[in-house]
A and B are shown apart, each in its own frame.
Chain A
Amino acid sequence: MDCEVRDLIIMGTGPAGYTAAIYTGRANLKPFVIEGFQPGGQLMITTEIENFPGFPEGIRGPELMGKMRDQATKFGAEFASGSVTEVDLSRSPFCLTLEDGREYFTRALIVATGANAKWLDIESEKRYRGKGVSACATCDGFFFRDCNVFVVGGGDTAMEEALYLTKFASHVTLVHRREEFRASKIMTLRTRKNPKISTMLNLVIDEILGDGQKVTGIRLKNVLTGELSVHPCDGVFLAIGHEPNTRLFKDQLNTDDYGYILTKKSSTETNVPGVFACGDVQDFTYRQAVTAVGTGCMAAVDAERFLESMR
């Protein structure tokens, strides 16, 4: 057990957490950073990032996150591996418990726990996860060489996954529940131009079909007519959006209906003084690496001011 009361703990190591660590480290607050279950965050499973300013040639996700981590380390941030399983924000100092039982106390807390890919939450999806159902094309695309795969979703992630999968798959079908994609024009155009990608609209997954060992097809439902159709395939990649990692803060931090932490206007302050939220965990609208970096910096400045006011 660790009875020391720290000034600042940061939960999460995506762009928001690392940026908060860089700024607070540089301000001599000796940030203590708890990595979480996916160190480096969602960018660790992306390929090329083309729109992060300063990298005109693009940069690979894991490389960018490695650089951010190095920069935070340089300014004195300390990292602990593991995930927090319990949070008590009812009194100051706040108490965090890690999965192995370690307890940490802190005067200020920056929540940068991010968001994660959503699953359909149907039985057949669970049965075939790792057997043809995936939410990570860069991890699993390799296993679908010359295969016929479906990508479900209509945002930039879905477009990116579809494009990436054309490196391996013989054909990629994009399935979306609406009439039009939500993705950016540039990404939509790229998928349209790719001869290996075709598009099916106004459809949702009704069931993932398989032979007990692996995926063999997909049953889709037309949202306008209710009509069902079966399509043989070898893989189903889901890119149906994200959900914020806020389960730990239930009944402690105010969230919106989707679970995103609510912050006060033009700040990262939550309903609990001393607790600040940044990055995707409080951002339903933009969800970009750059906006996460921006709010990470804001949280650092807000936390620094809060700690100063306590002294």
Chain B
Amino acid sequence: MSGNYLAATDLNFKAEILDSDKVALVDFWATWCGPCMMLGPVIEELAGDYEGKAVIAKLNVDENPKIAAQYGIRSIPSLLLFKNGQLVDQMLGALPKNQIAKKIDEHIN
């Protein structure tokens, strides 16, 4: 089931991701990145699946260079997982949905 993901930005990153009381997944992406476009629908599905359980977000690196630089992003799509304001896990590339879900579950429990 597709859901609405959070559009993370340089401005709302602290409030919505770092200060969130839930585990947060952030997909660093851009429109010119083929694998990012493939991952898009997967992120939307995850947003539906984890509604109320985790924050599922996308961050456009073109529009939000600060956060991308802060986390040393040099390859996209990059998926970063945050818990209690800390970076707890990192994945690279357009991964299958169940692989991403497994990582999220690990940190929820």
CB within 8 Å of B: which residues of A?
Answer: 37-40, 44-46, 61-62, 81-83, 99-100, 129-132, 134, 136, 138-140, 142-144, 213-214, 235
Residue of A nearest to B61 (CB): A142
* Cβ-defined partner of B96 (8 Å) among A99, A129, A136: A99
Q: Which of A37, A40, A129, A213 contacts B75 (CB 8 A)?
A: A129
- Residues of B near A37 (CB, < 8 A) are 94, 96
Whether B34 lies near A83 (C-beta < 8 A) is no
Task: Answer yes or no: B6 CB below 8 A from chain A CBs.
Answer: no
**Is B100 an interface position by the 8 A CB rule?**
no
Bound CA–CA A214/B78 (angstroms): 15
Tell me which of B7-15, B16-24, B35-43, B49-57 binds A.
Answer: B35-43
Contact among B37, B74, B90, B98 for A140, CB-based, below 8 A: B74
CB atoms of A138 and B34 under 8 A apart: yes
Given A44-B37, A61-B34, A143-B73, 5 more contacts at CB 8 Å? A40-B34, A45-B35, A130-B75, A130-B92, A132-B74
Q: Report the nearest B residue to A128, measured CB to CB.
A: B74
B-side contacts of A235, CB under 8 Å: 74
Q: Give CA–CA (A46, B35) in the complex, Å.
A: 11
B residues in contact with A62, CB < 8 Å = 34, 37
- Mask, B69-83, CB within 8 Å of A = 1, is 000111110100000
Q: Quick one: which of B37, B78, B98 contacts A130, CB cutoff 8 A?
A: B78
| Assembled-state Cα–Cα distance A100/B45 (Å) | 15
A235 to B73, CA, bound (A): 12
With known contacts A38-B35, A38-B38, A44-B35, A142–B75 Cβ distance under 8 A: no
In-complex Cβ contact of B34 among A45, A131, A213 (8 A): A45
Indicate if B33 sits at the interface (CB-CB under 8 A): yes
A213 touches which one: B37, B72, B76 (CB < 8 A)? B72
Q: Is the CB of A139 within 8 A of B75?
A: yes
Given A99-B98, A129-B92: A138 touches B32 (CB 8 Å cut-off): yes
Chain A residues whose C-beta falls within 8 Å of the C-beta of B62 in the assembled complex: 142
Interface pair B36/A131, CB less than 8 Å apart? no
A-B contact pairs, 13 of them (CB 8 A): A39-B38, A44-B38, A45-B34, A99-B96, A134-B75, A136-B75, A142-B32, A143-B61, A143-B73, A143-B74, A143-B75, A144-B74, A214-B74
List the 6 closest A-B pairs by CB distance, nearest first. Answer: A44-B34, A130-B75, A45-B34, A130-B92, A143-B74, A140-B75
> If the complex has contacts A37-B96, A139-B33, are A134 and B38 also in contact, measured as CB distance less than 8 A?
no
CB nearest to A141 among chain B residues: B32
Asked whether A40 lies within 8 Å of B74 as measured between CB atoms, the reply is no
A44 to B61, CA, bound (A): 19
Bound-complex Cα distance A132 to B72 (A) = 9
Residues of A contacting B94 with CB < 8 Å? 37-38
Tell me the complex Cα distance, A213–B30, Å.
Answer: 23
CB distance from B46 to the nearest CB of A (A): 13
On chain B, the residues within 8 Å of A61 by CB distance are: 34
- Chain B residues closer than 8 Å to A46, beta-carbon distance: 34
State the Cβ distance, A62 to closest chain B Cβ, in Å. Answer: 5
User: Which one of B30, B90, B96 has the greatest number of beta carbons of chain A within 10 Å?
Assistant: B96
Nearest-CB residue, chain B, relative to A36: B96
Would you call A214 and B96 a contact (CB within 8 A)?
no
User: What residues of chain A lie closer than 8 Å to B37, measured between beta carbons?
Assistant: 44, 62
Expressed in whole angstroms, the Cα–Cα distance for A136 and B36 within the complex equals 12
Whole-angstrom distance between the Cβ of A43 and the nearest chain B Cβ: 8
Shortest beta-carbon distance from A13 to chain B in Å:
10
Distance between A94 CB and nearest chain B CB, rounded to angstroms: 22
List, in ascending order, chain B residues with CB within 8 A of A143's CB: 61, 68, 73-75
Q: How far is the CA of A138 from the CA of B31 in the complex (A)?
A: 11
